Structure 1
Amino acid sequence: MTASTPVPLIADLRSDTVTTPTPEMREAMAQAQVGDDVYGEDPTVNALQAEVARLTGHEAGLFMPSGSMTNQAAIAVHTRRGEEVICAEGSHIYEWELGMMAAFSGVVPRFVPAPLGVPAPEDVRRAVLRSPHQSPSGMISLENTHNKAGGTVIPLDVLAAIRAVADAEGLPLHLDGARVFNAATALNVPLHDITRHFGTVSVCLSKGLGAPVGSVLVGSRAHMKEAHRYRKMLGGGMRQAGILAAAALVALRDVPARLREDHRRTRQLAEALVNAGFDVDLAAVQTNIIYAALPDAQARVDAWAARGVRASALGHDRVRFVLHHQVSDEALEGAIAVLTA
């Protein structure tokens, strides 16, 4: 193979956002009925919003380009400037959303410990501030599954207990549900058993579900009316967005049933890595994400890419692998052969 010959791709494990639309998604996109969504006139977007609201047990939904936007719109809805957002350490709303809670809403995070991504309800309660000498608590936000902890799942009893804290303290509770379908699959419960505990939920459609673009924020009709204004402020009005919503509806219909296989393959890869001497915490491998502690992470990732397997180096000594519905058993076997060679 010459230097100019492309390396055949065995598996792209950088993220579950790398999936491409399925033929069924592309057909739905081609046939989608559309209108101006900023005016609320796109029938396919309206159908998507209604379906996600139904699945999550909420009144209404609002389609946006990204999960970062839905999260930040929810923060803007629930808080006032100068308040704090109580969240688990390592939360996406802080780690990967570029300080937007401060830049857009004028609020700051108050972190609580979260072993394996699960904050203790008592720690959440202790984080609530009412002193006139400190920034007051404005809301509580959870992430399920918790990306940085390894795709870990918050148990239902913990969710219920944190909801009780939020109710007792009079605070809104938001869920960053970027991979909430993965959480429901791991817990073997309907989606609404998780999402019913929250006032607002961000549901990503382009990660585990494999749609090309978008997330839906769900909550009360009043909250979605306010969030619509923040979406407009953030530049999230997409006009004839039914083309994207059509693919998302197919993803909602077809992909959740495949997530269990993603989780099985993830566990298979994690165990193969451990057997090959990688430093992987198997207790954190609960859904479709694996983190491995590895010196010279970028050099190792570059070497694997040269052999057809893509992963993500996060910092100098951490590598992330993410499984998705377009990684087959055959591709996984090829990836394991490369990674453990």
Structure 2
Amino acid sequence: MEYRALGNTDIKLSAITYGSFAIGGNMWGGNVHKDSIASVQASLENGVTTIDTAPFYGFGLSEEVIGEAIKGKDRSSIQLLTKFGLVWDGSNQGKGIHFFDAVENGNTIPVYKYAGKGSIIREVEDSLKRLKTDYIDLLQLHWPDDSTAISEVMETMERLVEQGKIRAAGVSNYAVAQLDEAAETFLPASNQVAYSMLNRSIESDLVPYAIQNKVGIIAYSPMERGLLTGKYFQDGKLKEDDHRNEYFKQFDLHKVKGFLDKLSGLAADKSVSLAQLVLRWTTLQDGITVVLAGARNAEQAIQNAKAMEVSLSHEELTFIEKELTHVISAN
């Protein structure tokens, strides 16, 4: 495993970082508690020391599972990354911006983007309790909240750093202009954004900015929510309430399958899985600090960690790049 510096901080994160959206259950067709615990613990045992979560994932469940999974572990050897700014419990009292309606156990739950000072402080205290810890290594704004001044958000996180509640402050889904505005108050250590073989839009502006200003990039959805594992093309069946039924419609699936068929040959030559090859490619891209990889059970977690053992030559990277041009142009 490689461990990489987070932006301009002295915090080191594992290049493959455990992504915990799926173990929250909501929007992913549920979960199995014991498997979720095992997946976190297997990650730690195989060098994946960084865990990314959020209160919204399972409406607190993901954080609770992680808190249970790391109980008794050496806290100083684990980096806990969580977020704030998606409010669903009504505590925003009508403030913020309606984002979407989530469905949980047949109930519709309005979710708001809200990052006012008081709300941030409350969310952090709730996260600390669920995670069973007294500090968070990296606290991130989950989504931009246009109803709250960026300066207020950054000032609040700066205070939390000073208080020792968090070690570093980051954002998610920020554009370059928003990062520039944030830096006028407090430069974020990182920006968590979507990035994958099929979604490389950040390479044009965000990556150069991040490199120049020492802002870490945490890449989420590198597997495009499982599409790039190739498993979808083997049976194509997802549970009815799985959000990916709609999400996958944005891609030319015929083109994607053709690309994955070619990539599968390269993976077979290396005796690795398609998912491992995709993850490793992502970690090798300019400006990418760490890559999030979800796991529902221990075996998936182990295989994610082993992705860092995959070696890709200059010729092989060129081959992948050439094949990708056909797919990206189609989407």
TM range (shorter): 0.3 to 0.5
Higher strand share: 2
- TM-score normalised according to structure 1 size: 0.32
Of structures 1 and 2, the one with the larger relative CO (CA 8 A, separation 6+) is: 1
